[in-house]
Amino acid sequence: MTLLIGYARVSTDTQDATVQRQALESAGVEAGMLFVDEGLTGSTRARPALREAMAACRAGDTLMVTRLDRLARSVPDARDIIDELTKKGVRLRIGESVHDPEDPTGRLLLNALAMVAEFEADLIRARTREGMRIAKAKGKLRGKKPKLTPATEGHLVAEFHSGDFSIHELARRYDVGVATVYRAVDRARAAGTAVTPTLSLVPDTAPVD
């Protein structure tokens, strides 16, 4: 039995993936086969839900996204993902179109879509840098308020390493996004304080879409 596996992504914790979820569910993706990354940009492969979605794919299955930029924001990354899917015998569906990477026209179209997604990402980054430059010049730039205090983040990391809570349980427990939990754990690991209850906290910056 072949499966339709859905993947959605929003780049900040404040964005809502509801529209993507509804589109994927309407296309026939079952709840257990729908994977969502929240607060993560498409320019990085370090996305837990994407890893889970790719792992769930088997030969003959189809991975669906609503738009290619939800899957990747750079041409090399898009090619790597598509090549991985092709090697596994998995088809890629973008919206209503199923693309065959073995077909020259299909590969051309996918490359064109990836180039557009990368171009849009570059434009967004450029506008963000320009906006920050203007705000700084006007003295209006302020750091984003941390979602967790250093002490609270330390307790979160300690509970993660206790093995008693999953990432999603910790996110609900501390009322933060899954990405915030991953960043807290990564910061603790980098600082060498994985189970110390008090950590120094570098304020999160909003990721660029």
Q: What is the mean pLDDT of residues 105-121?
A: 62
Output the six-digit token pair for 112. 């064109």
Q: Are residues 30 and 93 in the same domain?
A: yes
Q: Are residues 76 and 37 in the same domain?
A: yes
Q: Is residue 131 part of a domain?
A: no
Q: Are residues 90 and 186 in the same domain?
A: no
Q: Is residue 16 part of a domain?
A: yes
Output the six-digit token pair for 85. 């899917």
Residues sharing a CB contact under 8 Å with residue 133, sequence separation 6 or more, in sequence order: none
Q: Are residues 168 and 109 in the same domain?
A: no
Lowest average pLDDT, out of 4-18, 49-63, 103-117, 150-164, goes to: 103-117
Question: What does the alpha-carbon distance between residue 182 and residue 93 come to, in Å, rounded to a whole number?
Answer: 29
Q: Is residue 174 part of a domain?
A: yes
Q: Are residues 13 and 92 in the same domain?
A: yes
Q: Residue 152: give its domain's CATH number.
A: 1.10.10
Q: Are residues 82 and 161 in the same domain?
A: no
Residues sharing a CB contact under 8 Å with residue 88, sequence separation 6 or more, in sequence order: 57, 58, 59
Q: Are residues 95 and 148 in the same domain?
A: no
In order of 56, 60, 91, 111, 133, the CA distances from 85 in angstroms are 11, 10, 7, 15, 40
Lowest average pLDDT, out of 57-66, 112-121, 160-169, 195-204, goes to: 195-204
pLDDT for 149:
86
Q: Is residue 120 part of a domain?
A: no
Lowest average pLDDT, out of 21-25, 90-94, 183-187, 193-197, goes to: 193-197
Range of the domain at 161: 143-209
Q: Is residue 122 part of a domain?
A: no
Q: Is residue 173 part of a domain?
A: yes
Q: Are residues 9 and 97 in the same domain?
A: yes
pLDDT for 114:
62
Q: Is 57 helix (H, G, I), strand (E, B) or coil?
A: coil
Catalytically annotated residue among 11, 26, 43, 97: 11
Q: Residue 43: give its domain's CATH number.
A: 3.40.50.1390
Q: What total number of domains does the chain contain?
A: 2
- pLDDT surpasses 50 at 39: yes
Q: What is the mean pLDDT of residues 173-188?
A: 88
Q: Is residue 184 part of a domain?
A: yes
Q: Is residue 128 part of a domain?
A: no
Report the mean per-residue pLDDT for the chain.
78
11 given a catalytic annotation: yes
Bridge partners for 4 per DSSP: 62
8 Å CB contact between 35 and 6: yes
Q: What is the mean pLDDT of residues 79-93?
A: 87
